[in-house]
């Protein structure tokens, strides 16, 4: 749901990463229904092996993802993925 909302509120290209392909397929269908599928690229992968070039993103938006790999590790590793003026937005869920 949040990926669709981000696409509606922005004009940027979005990379949606998940390790569960059925979730990505559902996202594709939902994006098509509201005509934002041309700006969402789905990528099957996991937080422990991000294959993106340094500086690839202006914004990294994570809801719970940083919790999966650990707060400090997430900050350290994701920093290199941000452009010079990039920002990281996250919600860290505690159990």
* 2-21 pLDDT, tens digit each: 899 999 999 999 999 999 99
Calpha distance 40→60 (Å, rounded): 14
Whole domain around residue 14: which residue ranges? 1-45
User: 64 in helix, strand or coil?
Assistant: coil
* Same-domain status, 38 and 62: no
Angle (nearest 5°) at CA 4 between 15 and 79: 35
* Same-domain status, 40 and 63: no
Place of tokens 């949040």: 2
* Same-domain status, 32 and 4: yes
Residue with more model confidence, 83 or 49: 83
pLDDT at position 75: 92
* Same-domain status, 59 and 80: yes
The count of structural domains within the chain is 2
Q: Render pLDDT for 50-84 as a digit per residue (tens, 0 to 9).
A: 999 999 999 999 887 888 888 899 999 999 999 99
């Amino acid at each position: 749901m949040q990926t669709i909302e981000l696409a509606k509120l922005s004009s940027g290209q979005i990379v949606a990463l998940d390790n569960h392909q059925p979730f990505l397929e559902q996202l594709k269908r939902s994006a098509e229904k509201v005509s934002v599928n041309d700006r969402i690229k789905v990528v099957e992968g996991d937080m422990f092996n991000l294959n993106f070039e340094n500086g690839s993103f202006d914004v990294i938006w994570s809801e719970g993802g940083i919790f999966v790999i650990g707060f400090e590790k997430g900050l350290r590793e994701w920093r290199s993925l941000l452009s010079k003026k990039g920002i990281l937005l996250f919600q860290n869920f505690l159990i």
